[in-house]
Amino acid sequence: MTTTEKIFQLMKENNINATQLTKGANLSVGLITQWKQEKQKPSVKALIKIAEYFNVSLDYLLNEDITIPTATPGNFDTAQIVEKMAQRGITRERLAKLDKKQTEDLLNLIEIFLNNIK
């Protein structure tokens, strides 16, 4: 199941419509339509908001849709990343407190990291 499919499944299971999700997770109304029409995939920032809204982990949302490649031999998966973050005290609550610039900087670092892995 893709990330987008999981979002729509969560909406269905919780009897939440697109309007309720956009208001509750502070998302733009057009985003959900674009996801449903497969014109766009949810951004990391949107996924964080959705994970918090539904009280699920990012790992749950991303598990089967995105595989993080490893730069070294081994089996380093998203669960390990989440565990390492938790060990360092990085929680969803702390991430939610980042200001706009800090959020953009973090997302840029993640993007650079993922782009440099072959």
Residue 64 is given by DSSP the state: T
What average pLDDT does range 84-106 have in this prediction? 79
Confidence of residue 118 (pLDDT cuts 50, 70, 90): low
**pTM of this structure:** 0.53
| Residue predicted with more confidence, 84 or 103 | 103
Q: Per residue in 52-70, pLDDT tens? A: 888 888 888 887 644 334 3
Q: Which domains are present in the chain?
A: 3-116 (1.10.260.40)
Q: What is the pLDDT of residues 9-31, one digit of tens each?
A: 889 988 999 999 999 999 988 88
* Of 4-13, 47-56, 91-100, 106-115, the least confident: 106-115
Cα–Cα distance between 18 and 98 in angstroms, integer? 26
Higher pLDDT, 9 or 107: 9
Classify residue 32 as exposed, middle or buried by CB count within 10 Å of its CB (0-12, 13-18, 19+): buried
The tokens describing 16, both together, are 């939440």
